Structure 1
Amino acid sequence: MTANLLAAEVAESERERLKSAVVSYGDGVGAFDGRMRTYMMRTFAPHFQAGKCLQIGCAHGDQTSLLLERFNDITVVEAEPHFIEHTRARLGDRVRFVESFVEDFDNGERYDTILFSHVLEHVIDPVIALKKLASLLKPQGRLLVAVPNAEAPSRRIAVKMGVLTHLEALSEADTAAGHRRVYRLDTLERDVSLAGLHIEASGGIFYKPLANFQFDQLIGTPTLSEAFLEGCYRLGLERPTECASLYVVASKGHVA
């Protein structure tokens, strides 16, 4: 792979990898992932820059639909045609779709806001992917990155149970989804900095005491109230390294 393009043989391998991962996504987002989309939007909203928005990866379009509440001009870059077809059927022509890997994308446009949510853990080289997105930012634009957190309490419990060998080990669910890595806040900030970006803000989204499947089973039942979920979100603001997701808001730095 070069600094800007995936070599043809690597791209073909990545397409096959994506096809395999699609199965793990099922027909739509789970209850917990759906809630996480809304918490991510709450976290990122203060950092949105009005104008053109670029979303990298749309899956079934849940986060894209939330972006449409805030942006009139959205381009989605997605490498898996199944996800494009699903999201286009859901949202119609309100969004422009480009079938491409992030490393290969450049339509000549530059963007005010770029959302790179839960994709960085999938790519071959995270720094190369981040450099590409940095090149697509307008001078005052913002890149919003979110990734799974290796240090979430649910993962710490899994290590103690023997389900994971260590905090940064990939679970069966991680592997099935096509993840290549899981981040700590310091390693996420490291990769963003190595890409030449300036970190404007960073933190965690939603304190996570339970595994995803446990949240899926309990959301909507009397056991897990809305107040409890809101409490987890607010506690996450105070304890970022114990959250479900980590985030960074980045820019090109000071522009003369």
Structure 2
Amino acid sequence: MFSTTRPLFGQTAIVTGASRGIGRSIAVALGRAGAHVVVNYLSSRDAANEVVRTILNLGSKAVAVQADVTRQDEVNRLVVAATALGQPQILVNNAGIAEARLLLETSLEDWERMLNSNLTAPFLCTKAVLPYMLRTGYGRIINISSIWGISGGSYEVAYSASKGGIIAFTKALAKEVGPSGITVNAVAPGAIETDMLQSLSKEEVMQLQARTPVGRLGHPDDVANAVLFLASPRTSYITGQIISPNGGLEA
């Protein structure tokens, strides 16, 4: 039964890279909306367990599951663990990395690491979860891209390419699984106050803020609110779309 206060009551969600930053905010927002949440993490066990405690205190179920989502065997283990909470109905592909460097300074190893983290991982997680959604005829797949995946970012060719790939992945898969009651959308944040901005100088951060019409950098909750909207049962007619919470920053 749909509830305006807990619209995801009883659904099971998997959020990759959910121990901190944007992933943490997404996991907590889904838990607050009533979903049971699988908090995936790679190495930050204590932080992931803290997210679980926060969700439990909100009255929803949650479990932390360690898994490297660039590895197929570990992704399969993650999804099997998720079924202890219920059939996965929501997947948020959030885990990823960011690096800023010139293309000529980008090694093949750098390039492959970026694509594995930001593009191959969502492919593996989606492929593992999709059979459950197809069986039930319902699902919400939400991929976290970036404004630089839309416009390209200077000194971030590998990152931009990986996030642009996620956008194409989203649009193509939406067409493939739309007839099965599954929506696929992406959220492409602008400049968000997370660890990923630590590679920028104070002056660069101030420039980003000055270029943002609302006059501030984004908060992880700004991204989580967009994800929560797309995860709703009431957004069944929205698929293949890219929502960019960016404060008006031009893509």
Whose strand fraction is larger, Structure 1's or Structure 2's? 1
TM-score interval (norm. to shorter): 0.3 to 0.5
TM-score where L is the length of structure 1:
0.43
TM-score where L is the length of structure 2:
0.44
